[in-house]
Amino acid sequence: MPQVSQHADVPSDRINVGQGSFHVTDHPAKLLTTVLGSCVACCLFDPVCRVGGMNHFLLPEPRGGARCEGGEAERYGLFAMELLVNEMLKAGASRRRLRAHLYGGANMLSGMQPIGTANAAFARHFLEQDGISLIHWDLGGRLARRIDFKAAVGQARCRTVEAPPTIERQPPPIVAHGDLELF
């Protein structure tokens, strides 16, 4: 279920697509947005019926074909991609007209499993198997991304997000008090 921001300083036409969620719309003023690290977002668009959507998933598939119950399935690409495609079709889109953008899949921490690479490979493979044209992608690397998608018109903007610089703090100087000397 999409989460809609209720903050006064955020336009009501901006919909945040959080981890494990998706949103589909045909409203031209709606802007779907998300921030990704190793996660992947797929943005789909049908240029004829002018409907689009975005999902955001954390992992490609459960390990070893394990079954998922309830909300746990929402974390996985297989579930997220099926939901997004099905909702697009319900909204009038045609599978043969769908156009896709893929974003995310960064491997932000060295020495960790390349989850981002696995997410990106899964998403590409899914689109290929489903016969959906991948027209744009920005995948991999080490930086997070912020995605804004005008779903009904199929326009996306991807910006990298760098972590703020680390400030090294020096311990406070030791100030001697009194006449006691330790040696």
- Please give the positions annotated as active site: 39
Quote the longest CA-to-CA distance of the chain. 85
Tell me which residue of 67, 85, 88 sits closest to 76, measured CA to CA: 67
- Name which of 76, 71, 73, 42 is nearest 57 in CA terms: 76
Torsion angle of C-alpha atoms 150, 25, 1, 32, degrees rounded to 10: 10
Nearest to 56 by CA among 28, 26, 25, 21: 21
Amino acid of residue 68: C
CA distance 117 to 129: 18
Return d(Cα 68, Cα 29) in angstroms, integer: 35
